[in-house]
A and B are shown apart, each in its own frame.
Chain A
Amino acid sequence: MIDPSWIAALGVILFGIGLLGTFYHKNAIVVLMCIELMLNAANLNFVAAASHYGDVSGWVFTAIAIAIAAAEVAIGLAILLSMYSTQQTISLDAASKLRN
């Protein structure tokens, strides 16, 4: 089997790239996608620890994190669509109001 520390290292690299994209982009949807990338990196770390220790709790945490990520994407996109309908933009620089 693959050494679990390599999987954790891949998680760190993906986390760094996701963090860079979160700071780098103005489009809110791309920022949301980069947050998904960071959540996936955290999941990789959970899986690495689970296969290193032989403990199944890491897999349970990963399943919970995936479900929470799905909920977060639904809420986030609902907020973005609401923002788009009131301000006609989803640029994070231009959007400055939460309601009319």
Chain B
Amino acid sequence: MAIDFETLVFVIVSGAAVAGAIGCVFASRVAHSLLWLMLTFFAVAAVFLMASAEMLGAIQILVYLGSVMLVVQFGVMLTRRRIQGAESLPTLNFISAVTGVGLFALMLALLREVMEHPMWDSEVAGAPTTLEFADALFNEWTIATIVLGALLAMAMIGASYLVRDERLINLVWDTGQETVTASPGVGMPTRRTFPDASTGEQDGGEEE
């Protein structure tokens, strides 16, 4: 009995993906979760390559591992103090055990449904090519691509709006002087000082 080389590679890659996913869920620290998740994303990119979707594998590595994981890493670092330790550990009690068993049963049922679906009975037509992908993306799905660009722009603007700093002390020009001078230089707005602006959560509500 000869084992196909491609099957062997697929088993190894999918095992890496599942191991990374399990490690992501059960790692005790957030940074370790992130590293396990990166292993999973690499493995999924490899599966994309094996399904001859080379472009999608490249997109997966560039977008997920290049930007999304970087953003999540920034999030981990910026909220670091309180999420290490006992607070990030998952809860282990009766309800979560029952939920885990139920989810496992759901996964088995779903696996059976997917594997035995009648759509797999037809002949395998083979993967499309990257040229067809580009043609479909920019001819057939042009409107969707444009709307997607608008959505990404709106998401980035919204994200930067959500994390803005509302305190007025950060919005005025910092001239490096501690006191308010009588006649500031031309083009320099007067530095406004607040007694507690640097310590408290000054809810100024000032827009730019």
Contacts and interface: CB of A to CB of B under 8 A. Distances in A.
B182 to A, nearest CB: 36
Contacts of B51: 1-2, 4, 7, 47-48, 50-51
The number of chain B residues touching the other chain, given as a range, is 35 or more
Contacts of B114: 5, 8-9, 11-12, 45
Given A14-B21, A40-B44, A71 B37 contact: no
A81 B165 CA distance: 11
Given A30-B30, A67-B152, A78 B79 contact: no
A32 B72 CA distance: 9
A51 B25 contact: no
Given A5-B120, A20-B103, A86-B201, A55 B128 contact: yes
B163 interface: yes
Given A89-B82, A91-B83, A44 B152 contact: no
Given A18-B21, A23-B99, A44 B44 contact: yes
Contact of B91 (A1, A26, A59, A67): A26
Contacts, number: 255
Given A59-B133, A71-B152, A37 B24 contact: yes
Main secondary structure of the interface of A (DSSP, over half): helix
Interface in B44-90: 44, 47-48, 50-53, 55-56, 59-60, 63-64, 67-68, 71-72, 74-76, 78-79, 82-83, 87-90
Main secondary structure of the interface of B (DSSP, over half): helix
A75 B159 CA distance: 5
Contact of B75 (A56, A81, A91): A81
Given A56-B132, A67-B152, A70-B155, 14 more contacts: A1-B51, A2-B51, A27-B83, A34-B25, A43-B56, A53-B122, A54-B125, A60-B133, A64-B144, A66-B56, A68-B151, A69-B63, A70-B68, A74-B159
Interface of A: 1-21, 23-27, 29-30, 32-34, 36-37, 40, 43-45, 47-57, 59-60, 62-64, 66-75, 77-82, 84, 86, 88-91, 100
